[in-house]
Structure 1
Amino acid sequence: MKKIYSLLLIAICLGAGIVNAQPIFEKSVSNLRNQRYCEILYGKRHWLSLEVKVFNTQGLNLCPEEQWKAITKESITSKYDASFALLNGPRYWVMDEIHAAGATVNNVKESFSGMEMNLRATIELGLLKQILGSKHFMPNQINRTTNFVYKAGSSIYELTSPAGEIYVMQSYSQIVNPSLMIEDLPDLEKQLKLPSGWIYQSRVLDKDLSLIANGIAHVLQDNLANSYQRR
Structure 2
Amino acid sequence: MTDKQLDLENARAYAQGEIFLLRQAGDGFDALVYNTTGFGPCPAEEFGAIDTEQLAQDTVSDRVWKNPRRFWMMDALTAAIAGEPRKLGGLMFNCLADMKMPADFDPQRDQSSMAYRPTKIHRNSAYKFLSGRPVFMLRSPDGITWVMQTFTDHVDHGLTESALPAMAERLTLPDGWTYKARTLDRDLTITTSGLANIVPDGLANMYQGCVDGVNNFDPWD
1:30 matched to 2:13: no
- The match for 2:109 is none
- The match for 2:57 is 78
Number of aligned positions between the proteins: 202
Give how far 1:214 is off.
1.4
- The match for 1:192 is 171
Structure 1 gaps, min length 5: 1-23
- The match for 2:103 is 130
Counterparts of 1:96-111 in structure 2 under 5 Å?
A: 96-100=75-79, 104-106=80-82, 108-111=84-87
Deviation string for 1:198-230 (max 9, x for gaps)? 000000000000111111100110111100000
- The match for 2:149 is 170
User: What TM-score does the superposition give when structure 1 sets the normalisation length?
Assistant: 0.81
Counterparts of 1:152-231 in structure 2 under 5 Å?
A: 152-231=131-210
Give how far 1:174 is off.
1.6
Give how far 1:107 is off.
5.5
User: What TM-score does the superposition give when structure 2 sets the normalisation length?
Assistant: 0.85
Question: Counterparts of 1:73 and 1:119 in 2: how far apart (Å)?
Answer: 17
Question: Counterparts of 1:112 and 1:157 in 2: how far apart (Å)?
Answer: 32
- The match for 2:89 is 113
Provide the alpha-carbon RMSD of the alignment.
2.0
Structure 2 gaps, min length 5: 107-112, 211-221
Give how far 1:161 is off.
0.4
- The answer to which structure has the higher helix fraction is 1
Question: Structure 1 residues 75 and 132 mapped into 2: Cα distance closer, same or farther (>3 Å)?
Answer: closer
Instruction: List structure 1 segments (4+ residues) > 3 angstroms apart after TM superposition.
Output: 24-27, 131-134
Give how far 1:148 is off.
0.6
Give how far 1:159 is off.
0.2
The structure whose Rg is larger is: 1
**Identity %, equivalent residues:** 29
Q: Identify the range of structure 1 (74-83 vs 86-95) with the bigger mean alpha-carbon deviation.
A: 74-83
Amino acid at match of 1:191: R
